[in-house]
Amino acid sequence: MNILVVDDSLVVRRLIETTLKQEFGRIHTAVCGESALASVLLHKPAIVILDIMMPNISGIDVCLKIRNNPKVYGDPYIIMLTGKDDDDDVISGFEAGADDYLKKPFNPRELSLRVKASLRKSRTTNSTLYYKNITLFKNSRRVEVDGTEVKLSSRLFNLLSFLIENTGISLSRERIYLQVWEEEFLKGNRTVDVYMRRLKDKVPQLEGEINSQSGFGYRLG
């Protein structure tokens, strides 16, 4: 998953990048509105963290440009940053199409939680799923890791999709089997274990992310 951070302050960019990189994968940065739009075109980020006050093209104008051209820029989740106490900035951001906002100075932990919340929303409303540096496109049934496509069988695709949709939730082998195979689960059936191993082989980045729970099942994250 790609996240784009747009701020003309190097200190702020580094703070956000350090906060999010470990947990959410690839972080791109831009210093102004022009480079922000170019980066959105190039990297197709799932989330854009966008400062309002920037030279030449403001964050508001960048947000408007993205929202008015979804076929060009996609439909990223936009979190606006503002250093002003004036509510007019916040209102202008939402009117431009922002999804959330955060006032500076902000708590890095709060920003991380807001990013997590945006991903939960995307899992329930969008056809694209994200887990760290893994992107799963449900409509086209494609999976990318760090932007590179990984070929998965239909069964492995469905398994990964189900795991991402239930990130952080302990899933029994029976529940996984019923969802992915749509057949009755018989006690002693090891099919789920075999496919979990295959999935890790195909997507090595999942090694250490899929946790086996002895006698019960699995949990992603």
pTM: 0.63
**Residues above pLDDT 90, as percent of the chain:** 54
Q: Are strands 26-30 and 2-6 parallel, antiparallel or unpaired?
A: parallel
- What is the C-alpha separation between 80 and 156, in angstroms, rounded? 37
Res. 183 pLDDT band, cuts 50 70 90: confident
Phi, psi of 136 (to 5 degrees): -120, 120
Report the range of poorest mean pLDDT among 14-28, 112-126, 168-182: 112-126
- What is the C-alpha separation between 165 and 181, in angstroms, rounded? 16
Report the range of poorest mean pLDDT among 110-114, 183-187, 197-201: 183-187
Residue 120 in this model has a pLDDT that exceeds 80: no
CA 41 to chain centre: 17
pLDDT in tens, 127-153: 788 888 898 888 788 899 988 899 999
Nearest to 132 by CA among 114, 150, 144: 144
Domains and CATH numbers, the chain: 2-124 (3.40.50.2300), 129-220 (1.10.10.10)
Supply the pLDDT for residue 124: 54
Residue 118 in this model has a pLDDT that exceeds 90: no
Q: Provide the token pair at 110.
A: 């709060």
